[in-house]
Structure 1
């Protein structure tokens, strides 16, 4: 159950955070040189990261509750979801399961939209724009030193 919950959480978080970038702005151009990031911006980014993790946990719990309320086992939901995203996998579903998946999908989309709005608000409350947040994120992805600084900020 723990692994399937992790799979669900990862899918929800990736879907929601990816949607932030898609709806709020055009994708940032790929930069060969990481943009300069101040310690203050890095601290804001770390604060946002911690809040996103907490909210992601809440969203995950809500999603699990939705799946269970719809009468579907979490393992089966994950199995069907993985198959839908893998063109090499073919899975048979019953009419009842298809109805459950449709209902679950609508409800999960609602909580993802709420999550996205909440994260956007948290980014803005920290004094960053979505674009700058994405730039800092890209810089952190490219720079091990920034990754270490973020790690220290988060763990202190």
Structure 2
């Protein structure tokens, strides 16, 4: 059961990381009206393939996550401080930053973007090599984040109980 919870936690973490890059791409290439329609009619075989592909992506994700943490720490910030600065920038609430924090944040952000680009490219290669269409993979990832029905189906396939185990997996994946 512990292993399945870890897989669910990894899946949730991956969804967050990968969706950030795909959302930016989607927002630049897909008309706004098409983004609103969320596809949820994926077959069990598509969802199983998604899970199989995701398992193969986990080593890439873990290596990227370790590299990102090291980049942040090497810049002189803690992960929490980096997250705080990033969130304040995303919400438009400018945090008062010292020159040192600003420089450290920018340095870490550049390293993260390089690592993210490299990892995204490797992940796309794995997804395609496993015979899954990238659009379908991204669609399922988005559906997992936004559709309780798809989330429940995937968690059931993983053998994760809804409730405490699912909540623990989501909590672990966000670091909160």
Structure-2-length-normalised TM-score: 0.63
Pair 33,18 (structure 1): closer, same or farther in 2 beyond 3 Å: closer
Moved over 6 A (4+): none
Q: How many angstroms apart in 1 are the aligned matches of 2:55 and 2:131?
A: 16
In structure 2, what is the equivalent of residue 41 of structure 1?
Answer: 46
Pair 66,143 (structure 1): closer, same or farther in 2 beyond 3 Å: closer
Pair 13,92 (structure 1): closer, same or farther in 2 beyond 3 Å: farther
Mark the runs of 5 or more structure 1 residues left unpaired by the alignment: 1-8
In structure 2, what is the equivalent of residue 113 of structure 1?
Answer: 117
In structure 2, what is the equivalent of residue 14 of structure 1?
Answer: 16
- Is 1:96 the equivalent of 2:100? yes
8 Å CA contact retained: 2:47, 2:154: yes
Query: Which of 82, 89, 93 pairs up with 1:84?
Result: 89
8 Å CA contact retained: 2:143, 2:151: no
8 Å CA contact retained: 1:123, 1:130: yes
Mark the runs of 5 or more structure 2 residues left unpaired by the alignment: 1-11, 161-176
Query: Which of 72, 84, 87 pairs up with 1:67?
Result: 72
Pair 32,21 (structure 1): closer, same or farther in 2 beyond 3 Å: closer
CA offset at residue 122 of structure 1?
2.0
CA offset at residue 43 of structure 1?
1.3
CA offset at residue 13 of structure 1?
5.8
RMSD: 3.2
Q: How many angstroms apart in 2 are the aligned matches of 1:151 and 1:13?
A: 14
In structure 1, what is the equivalent of residue 126 of structure 2?
Answer: 122
Q: How many angstroms apart in 2 are the aligned matches of 1:139 and 1:99?
A: 37
